[in-house]
Structures are given as C-alpha cells and as structure tokens.
Structure 1
Amino acid sequence: MSAVHYESYTQARAHLKDLLDASDEGRVATVRRDSGRAAVVDVERLRRHLSLVCPSKAEVVAEAGGWSVFLPGLPLAADGATFDEAIEEMVQALREYAEDWQERLRTAPNHEENWGLVQLIVLSDDAELHDWLVGAAR
C-alpha cells in the first residue's frame, strides 16, 4: 500500500481509521490544513527514531560525595547522592524543561531548535528517559 494523504481536515476526519491504520503500519500519513501539512505518526516509531537521532550525550561526574549530571549545550543539570538519584533528578529536569519549552521557550532563538528533544521527552516514560540518559538500549 502507498502513502495516505488527505487534502482537508474534513477528508481526514471522514477517513480517520485509514489515516491511523497507515500510521500504525509505518506508512506516510498526512493531512493538509490551510497552507500547512501535518503528519500522523505512530508514537513508538517516532520516539524510537528520536532517541537514535538525538543522543543524550549526558555527562555524569562523581563529586563531593555525590553525583552530578548535565547535558552539554542545554541549561539542564541535576545532582543526587547516588548515580541513580542524579539520573532520576535529570529525568525530572527534562520534564520541567519540556513544559517550559512548550509554554514559552519554543520561540526563543537559543531553544527553538530543541523541538526533537522535547518530543522525545514528552513521548517517553521515565524508564525510557533513564535508559536514553545512560545509553542503555531497550
């Protein structure tokens, strides 16, 4: 089967099952709305792809009897008494960053390119973010 494309929201709504089936099968599924076009993508496929193209590059440092985690190039850091606590704190910091990005940072010049990271954060559960940070494959 080929890609599924609808030229209007009304067409897409009338064929929603076909649109979602195409997405589930990994086929290209799009909808035109005014001058824009939106893609309907299976969440797990998108999350898995983003985790590959957006490696965390997290740096973890043991210091002062605890652990610190930071992501170079991002204003994010977390500390914990243990390695796992520091990673858990970083997961929470990522969640807060994603909220802030969606509320106001998405239009800031030094944050607007973090769209993929924010999608990855929001589409991942805590265990998936933990594995992404430490480089573990699921």
Structure 2
Amino acid sequence: MSAVRYESYTRARAHLKDLLDAADEGRVATIRRDSGHAAVVDAERLRHHLMAVCPSRAEVVAEAGGWSVFLPGLPLAADGATLDSAIEEMVEVLREYAEDWQERLRTVPNHEGNWGLVQLIGLSDDESLRAWLVGTER
C-alpha cells in the first residue's frame, strides 16, 4: 500500500478512515489545507520516536536529606524527600510546562524549540514519563 495524500480538507474529511488506517499502519498520511501541510501519525509511534530523539538527560542530586531532579538547559526542576517523590514531582513539573508552552511559551525564542518535548509529554502517561526521566523507557 502506498502513501495517502489529500490535497484538501474536504477530501481528507471524506476519507478520514483511510487517513487513520494509513497512520495506524505507519504509512505516510498527509493533508494540505490552504498553505499548510499536516501529517497524520500514529500517536504511539510518534511517542516512541520522540523518546529516541529527545532523551531526558535528567540529572539527579542527593542534597540536604532529599533529592533534586533537573533537566539541563530547561527551567525545570523538582525536589522530594525520596527519589521517587522527586521523580513524581518532575512529572507534574513537565505537565505544567507543556501546558504553559501551549498557552504562551511556544512563541518565546528560548522555548519555541521545545515542540518535540511538549509533544512527548502530551503523548505520554505518567508511567512513561517516569521511565523516560530515569532512562528505562523501551
């Protein structure tokens, strides 16, 4: 089977099942709309790809009887009495960052390049984000 490409929103809407089937099978599925060009992709495939190209590089530090987790290059950090609680807090921090990015940070020069991270966060459940942070995600 080949790629599925629709040159208008109207045609794509009429063939939505074909678009979703193609995405599910990992085939190229695209839609043109005015000057825009969008891809329809399987969310789980995209999530796994983003995990491969966006490693967390989380750093963990034991300090003052507790733990701190931070992501170098990003204004994100979390603390906890235990390592598990610090990781749980970081998952919450990531979720808040993704929300803030979508609301206002996506056009800020030092944040606009974090699109992939935000997509990864949005496509992941908490367990997957924990595994990504500690480097155990498959």
TM-score band w.r.t. shorter chain: over 0.9
- What is residue 116 of structure 1 aligned with on the other side? 116
Give the TM-score of the pair, scaled to structure 2.
0.99
- What is residue 84 of structure 2 aligned with on the other side? 84
Note the C-alpha offset of 1:67. Answer: 0.1
1:79 is paired with a residue whose SS is strand
Q: Which runs of 5 or more residues in structure 1 are unaligned?
A: none
- What is residue 19 of structure 1 aligned with on the other side? 19
Note the C-alpha offset of 1:7. Answer: 0.3
% identity of equivalent residues = 83
Note the C-alpha offset of 1:137. Answer: 2.5
Aligned partner letter, 1:134: V
- What is residue 137 of structure 1 aligned with on the other side? 137
- What is residue 49 of structure 1 aligned with on the other side? 49
- What is residue 66 of structure 1 aligned with on the other side? 66
CA distance in 2, matches of 1:98, 1:13: 29
Aligned partner letter, 1:8: S
Q: Which runs of 5 or more residues in structure 2 are unaligned?
A: none
- What is residue 99 of structure 2 aligned with on the other side? 99
Superposition RMSD in Å: 0.5
CA distance in 2, matches of 1:92, 1:137: 18
How many residues are paired up? 138
1:61 is paired with a residue whose SS is strand
- What is residue 37 of structure 1 aligned with on the other side? 37
- What is residue 5 of structure 2 aligned with on the other side? 5
CA distance in 2, matches of 1:9, 1:33: 6
Runs of 4+ in 1 over 4 A off after TM superposition: none
